[in-house]
Structure formats: structure tokens, C-alpha cells
């Protein structure tokens, strides 16, 4: 283990740059709006603009794998280049792949995104725990071995998530159980490295409103970072983040709200989001 785990490193960046993560989401419509081609060359140009313009403006960048996979092998090659370029430029890269499986398959996903020297090596990876939190063990083990971070889906804002995530368990709710198990992993790591934040974060939507309170969840007691999608185009701003997260360690995730401003305006737009979060 290094002297600081991934959660502690990301926390330091949030203190320096503000609690904002911008997605690298090359929607076809955005490629068109930016005057870029709908192919691997367009993906590369899009990623290059994001990495360069957001340098020194945000705590993290989050490439969305789906928009690269659409273009097949050439798209995956562009994703590799995007991640490598962003990390070489000093960004903290959270690759948004939402992987979740069991056994050797989960180990394969983990190796693809978390192993040192892998073509898709990232600083952190999003995971889905809905085959059981224990199914994430290969990814957790590899992440801890190499000082990587993970963000585990816990309480998302899509309507379909309610039936699963809000379901009651003997300990409270499915979402609460996920947070508890992630908290326990973090506690072990923090006890060893003395940091104030663990490497296992959660994904909690910024637009979930009163759901955490309704489920009896104390998000501020969680010892990792909450990655909060839904800021910007989906309607959440600083006030909504304050209502959901209170004093929690929260990293707001924005995509279209910043990307929609277009080349030449990304940094200024991101800085306005950071200011809004600071006011809240």
C-alpha cells in the first residue's frame, strides 16, 4: 500500500479544485454540436478537448465507457488513449463502466481497469453490486493492492432502482447494506494508513431527494466519497446536493451541463458549477 489510498488522494484534489467531476461523454449529439465526426477520430478529438480544457479546474474526469464501446474496437482504442492521456496530464480518472459479475469474470474486469500497466488502467472504477456485495471481492482486492478506488452503486435516481435499492432487509435496506459493507472495508484500510477517507466510495444520485432520510441512511457517517450524478442537465445543483448529502464527502458529477457549453467554454462552465457547490 502507498502512503495515501485513492480516496484520500481524491479528497485532496477536491480540497484543491472543488468537489466536481466532469464526465467525458461523447454523445453523438455532442459530437455533432462540436463539429466532430461520429467515429474514433471524433472520440479522440472530443477527449483531447476535455482533458486540456479541464486541466486545473476539476477534481476528476469520468469517461463513460458506453459511448466509446459503441464504435467497437476503434472506440475502445480511443478510450485507452483518453484514459492514458488524462492520467498523464495529472487528472484523477474514474472510468464509468459499472461492471459487476462473479468469480473469474469479475477478476477479469478488475484486471482490465485496475491492474498497473493495463491498457485501460484507471485511478478508480464504478461497479454494480447487485449480484451481492461479496461478488465485488476480486475488484476490491485488486484495488486495495494497487491503491485504486472504487465507486459502488448504492442509491441511484432512476425509477427502476427503487424496487431493488429501497427493498427492506433485516439490517434496514439494500442500499444501506451496501454502504455498510463498503464502510467496513474502508475502516480496515484507514486503520492501516491513518487516512481520513477510504478508497471505496458509493454512487448516490444528487436527485434522490429525501430517499436517504426515508431509508434511515446517515450519508455523512460514511467513510468514503459519495459520487453524485444528476448535477446539471438532470436538475440538481448546489441546493439539491446540500439537501441530499449535508456534510458528507460528496463529489458532484456533471456531464451535459458542462459539455453542452462547447469547446472553449468547458473550464469556465465547470468553475461556475464549483462556485455554486461552494455557495451551498
Residues designated catalytic = 98
Q: What dihedral do alpha carbons 36, 41, 93, 73 form, nearest 10°?
A: 130
> How far apart, in whole angstroms, are the C-alpha atoms of residue 178 and residue 154?
6
| CA pair distance 227, 235, nearest whole angstrom | 16
Q: Which 8-state DSSP code applies to residue 120? A: T
Q: Distance between CA 77 and CA 75 in Å, rounded?
A: 5
- The helix-helix angle for 266-279 and 238-245 (nearest 10°) equals 50
Count of residues in the chain: 280
Residues whose CB is less than 8 angstroms from the CB of residue 87 and which lie 6 or more positions away in sequence, other chains included: 93, 121, 122, 123
Report the C-alpha gap between 255 and 230 in whole angstroms. Answer: 9
Neighbour-count burial for 245-270, b at 16+ CB within 10 Å, e otherwise: beebbbbbbbbebbbbbebeebbebb
CA distances from 113 to 120, 146, 159, 211, 248 (A): 5, 11, 29, 31, 27
- Give the phi and the psi of residue 250 in degrees, each rounded to 5: -125, 130
Residue in the block written with cell 481524491: 10
- For residue 116, how many C-alpha atoms fall within 13 Å in the half-sphere facing its CB? 4
Find out whether 210 and 236 touch, Cβ atoms under 8 Å. Answer: no
Amino acid at each position: 500500500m502507498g502512503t495515501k489510498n485513492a480516496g484520500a488522494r481524491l479528497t485532496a484534489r477536491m480540497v484543491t479544485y472543488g468537489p466536481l467531476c466532469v464526465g467525458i461523454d461523447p454523445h453523438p449529439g455532442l459530437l455533432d454540436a462540436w463539429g466532430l465526426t461520429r467515429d474514433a477520430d471524433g472520440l479522440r478529438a472530443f477527449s483531447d478537448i476535455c482533458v486540456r480544457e479541464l486541466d486545473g479546474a476539476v477534481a476528476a474526469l469520468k469517461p463513460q465507457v458506453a459511448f466509446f464501446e459503441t464504435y467497437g474496437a476503434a472506440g475502445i482504442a480511443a478510450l485507452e488513449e483518453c484514459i492514458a492521456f488524462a492520467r498523464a496530464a495529472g487528472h484523477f480518472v474514474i472510468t464509468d463502466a459499472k461492471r459487476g459479475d462473479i468469480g473469474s469474470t469479475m477478476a477479469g474486469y478488475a484486471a482490465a481497469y485496475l491492474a498497473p500497466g493495463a491498457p485501460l488502467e484507471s485511478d478508480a472504477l464504478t461497479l454494480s453490486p447487485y449480484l451481492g456485495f461479496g461478488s465485488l471481492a476480486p475488484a476490491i482486492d485488486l484495488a486495495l493492492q494497487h491503491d485504486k478506488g472504487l465507486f459502488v452503486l448504492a442509491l441511484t435516481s432512476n425509477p427502476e432502482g427503487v424496487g431493488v435499492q429501497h427493498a427492506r432487509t433485516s439490517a434496514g435496506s439494500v442500499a444501506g447494506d451496501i454502504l455498510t459493507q463498503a464502510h467496513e472495508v474502508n475502516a480496515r484500510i484507514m486503520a492501516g494508513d491513518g487516512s481520513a477517507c477510504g478508497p471505496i466510495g458509493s454512487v448516490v444520485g444528487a436527485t434522490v431527494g429525501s430517499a436517504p432520510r426515508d431509508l434511515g441512511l446517515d450519508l455523512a457517517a460514511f467513510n468514503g466519497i459519495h459520487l453524485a450524478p444528476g448535477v446539471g442537465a438532470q436538475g440538481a445543483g448546489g441546493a439539491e446536493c446540500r439537501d441530499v448529502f449535508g456534510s458528507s464527502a460528496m463529489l458532484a458529477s456533471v456531464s451535459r451541463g458542462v459539455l453542452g457549453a462547447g469547446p472553449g467554454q468547458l473550464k469556465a462552465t465547470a468553475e461556475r458549477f464549483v462556485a455554486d457547490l461552494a455557495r451551498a
